[in-house]
Every structure is written in structure tokens, then in C-alpha cells.
Amino acid sequence: MFVIRPAVQDDLATLLKFAKMVHFINLPADRDLLSAKIARSRRSFMLQADDAHEREFMFVLEDQDTGEVIGTGSVLSSVSWKGHPHIYLQVRRREHYSEDLRGGQVHTTVEMCTDESGPSEVGGLILAPGFRGRADRLGALLSLVRFHFIGLHPELFSTRMLAEMMGPLTPDALTPLWEYFGRRFINLSYREADLFSSRSKEFMLSLFPKGEIYVSMLPPEARALIGRVGEETEPAKRLLEKQGFRFDGHVDPFDGGPCLEAERDEIPLVKSTERRVLLGTKTFAANAHEGFVSNPGPSGFRATRSAFEMTPEGVWLPEAVVELLHLKQGAVVGVTPLAASPESSRRKSRKASS
């Protein structure tokens, strides 16, 4: 069995190993930065972080049979505030026409823009390579359970949700877009610039040119990366799109990956999350309806995917899941159905007619 729980300092070595496999700003390959993020996450789960920009929730996926941490993902309550903007490139289409030549050109431009409105963000998602592509879809569990958590605590997050998707990288973890574009203005490697931006964004605001830049002047291999994701990121992108995330022309200034956006309260999994009282345990058929279930209590968030049965009085769970989540009869359980069930449809009909 697998359980989602908050990251702790004992996970640092494993998380650092994951961070060195990717180049996420939300999962920096720096021991001190990563340790600080874990500490901040622990305070956030304990509801001890009052300021939104201090709240971030780092989850890990643990194999209960081995005790091994095999993946991680996070949610940040606020990625920007006054004096600490979220920075992106706005992609636009420009048409130019010549009356004399009776013809014209269509160009793509990018312009550095900032946002201090404080949207929330899901990010830092990685699953150990040996656990990808399995029938139990552990990557989907790790990605989507974050919306279950948001549904339990919507007040901790902005009504705007972002997801920055990683653009394609070369085998040696470089991106032609940064080499041909960003590095012309900021003399740092892609990895150095990405890591430094987790500490401060002043260098980008000071060194990056203002106004629109025509990407027609870039080599074709660099232009082609704008708004694209790498092959390994495609499954994560599709999962988010099914939850209502859309591309609105914002891309990452380092690798050109798209920044997707959704309204928190329109995300299906957020909308369908409920709190129910645990009635007890029972045995379920192999084809029983499944969903995300969790212990949202003060003892520590724990979640998994499981069969369940909801009634007007509460919810029934398998005995093994009750033990896994450290629940007791009468406890509050977080529940998010993963597909419409007859019972949930009947409950919605009753609500609509009441």
C-alpha cells in the first residue's frame, strides 16, 4: 500500500536525490534550501504559518511495504506578493502588413511581465523512475491528491491556481531557449539562474530587457520550445488539463514551459471533496467505487486512494485503510470521489431538489 504524508527532515536525502534529477524551482537541488522548505512545510501543515507567502505544503508518497519515499509534490499558498513578483514571459502574436507589397508577416513576441497578486501554485512533482507507468497510476495519485487537500482547506489558497510545466531539456539538462535567449542578458547557466531565482528575482528585473522581443530572431530549435513541455511532463500536463487548467500565453522565462491556470473552485476534484464521519470498516468488491480518502486531523495529514462507501450518515472504509491513515471510528475523513457513483449522483439530486 501507498500513503501520502507531509515531508519530514528524515526525507531530506531522498528529496535531494529527486531534486538532482529535475530542475524545479519548487524542488531546489540545494540541501539548505530544501531543508528550509521542509521546515516551512511542517509549520504549514500544523497551521502555524499565518502569512500566505510562508505557507507551502510538501507531500511525499511512501511505499508502506518498504518504508521508501518514492515521490513528492507540493502546493504553495502564494507565489508572489508586493516586492516579490511572479515573473513570466507573455507570448503574443503580431501581424504586420505592407500595402505596397500586398503581403505581410505574422510574428511571435515575448515580453517579461510580473504578477504580485498572490496566486497559489501546484508544483515540484516527481515520481521515482522505477514506479512510473504502472497500472496503479501512482503519478496520478501523487498529482491529484493535492486537489483533495486544497478541497479540504480552500481558505488556505488563492482562488487562482497556477501550474508551471517544465519545458523540454537536452540530455545534459540544458535548454536551447535559455542558451540562445536568456543567457544573452543574464550571464548564468540555466541551472545557476533557476536556482538563484529561488532566493531572489531582482537580477531578472534588472538585467532582462523591457518591452516585446521578436522571437523570429532566435534559431528555429529555440523558437520551437516556447510553450512546449518535455515528453516526461506530458502525462502531468494532461492530468491538469482534465482538471480545468488552461494555457493563456504565459511561459517560464528559463525553459519556455507553459504556465497553466485554473480557478480553484472550478477544479472538479476540489469541488467534489467532502468531510465525512467514519462509520466503521467493511469489505469491498474488487470493482468498488474508489476515491481519495484522508485523515485531515491534527495528528497529521495522511491520504491514499481507496474503495469507500458514502451514506447520508458518513463513510465506510476498508480496515487496512483505516489502519494506514491512523483513523478511529467517529473520526472525520476527507473524501474525494474519482468518478461519479450512483450514491453521489443521488445525493447531488437531493441537494438540487431541496
**Residue 95 pairs with which residues in a beta bridge?**
106
- Is residue 94 in some structural domain? no
- Does residue 48 register a pLDDT over 80? yes
Residues 258 and 123 in one domain: yes
pLDDT of 172 reads: 78
Looking at the structure of the chain, the number of domains it has is 2
Say which CATH number the domain at 348 has: 2.40.40.20
Residues 214 and 123 in one domain: yes
Grid cell 512510473 — which residue?
A: 132
pLDDT at residue 350 greater than cutoff 60: no
DSSP 3-state of 145: helix
Is 222 within the bounds of a domain?
Answer: yes
Cα separation of 251 and 257, whole Å? 5
Please indicate, yes or no, whether residues 153 and 218 belong to a single structural domain of this protein: yes
126: domain CATH number is: 3.40.630.30
The band of 352, judged by pLDDT with boundaries at 50, 70 and 90, is very low
Tell me which of 266, 299, 320 is where a domain ends: 266
**Cβ count near 170 (within 10 Å):** 10
Q: Tell which residue, 250, 113, 252, has the closest CA to residue 193.
A: 252
Question: What pLDDT does 342 receive?
Answer: 43
> Does 226 lie in the same domain as 324?
no
Question: Are 170 and 143 part of one and the same domain?
Answer: yes
Tens digit of pLDDT for each residue in 6-18?
999 999 999 999 9
| Alpha-carbon Rg for the chain in angstroms | 22
Query: Does residue 166 share a domain with residue 276?
Result: no
- Does the structure show a pLDDT above 80 at 341? no
On whether both 212 and 242 belong to a single domain, the answer is yes
- Is the same domain home to 215 and 339? no
Q: Are residues 260 and 314 in the same domain?
A: no
Question: In angstroms, rounded to a whole number, what is the distance separating the alpha carbons of residues 318 and 309?
Answer: 10
User: Model confidence over 113-149: pLDDT tens digits?
Assistant: 999 999 999 999 999 999 988 888 999 999 999 999 9
Distance CA 61, CA 112 (A): 36
Segment 189-206 shows an average pLDDT of 87
Tell me: do 163 and 252 sit in the same domain: yes
State which H helix or E strand residue 322 sits in. helix 319-324
180's CB contacts (< 8 A; 6+ apart) are: 218, 219, 222
Please check whether residues 76 and 180 belong to one and the same domain: yes
Greatest alpha-carbon span in the chain: 80
Q: Cell triple for residue 120?
A: 497559489
251, 266, 281 - which closes a domain: 266
Same domain, 43 and 118: yes
Residue 100 lies in a domain: no
Other C-beta atoms closer than 10 Å to the C-beta of 299 total 11
Does 101 fall in a domain? no
Distances from the Cα of 177 to the Cα of 85, 92, 197, 208, angstroms: 22, 17, 17, 14
Decide: 331 and 297 in contact? Cβ < 8 Å.
Answer: yes
In a domain, 105, yes or no: no
pLDDT in tens, 50-108: 889 899 999 999 999 999 999 999 999 999 999 899 999 999 999 999 999 999 999 99
Amino acid sitting at position 297: G
Cβ neighbours, 10 Å, residue 222: 18
Residue 107 lies in a domain: no
Residue 160 belongs to a domain = yes
Place of cell 467514519: 278
What domain range includes position 297?
A: 272-353
CA distance 4 to 62: 6
Last residue of a domain, one of 237, 266, 295: 266
Is 60 contained in some domain? yes
Is residue 343 pLDDT above 60, yes or no? no
pTM of the full predicted structure? Answer: 0.90
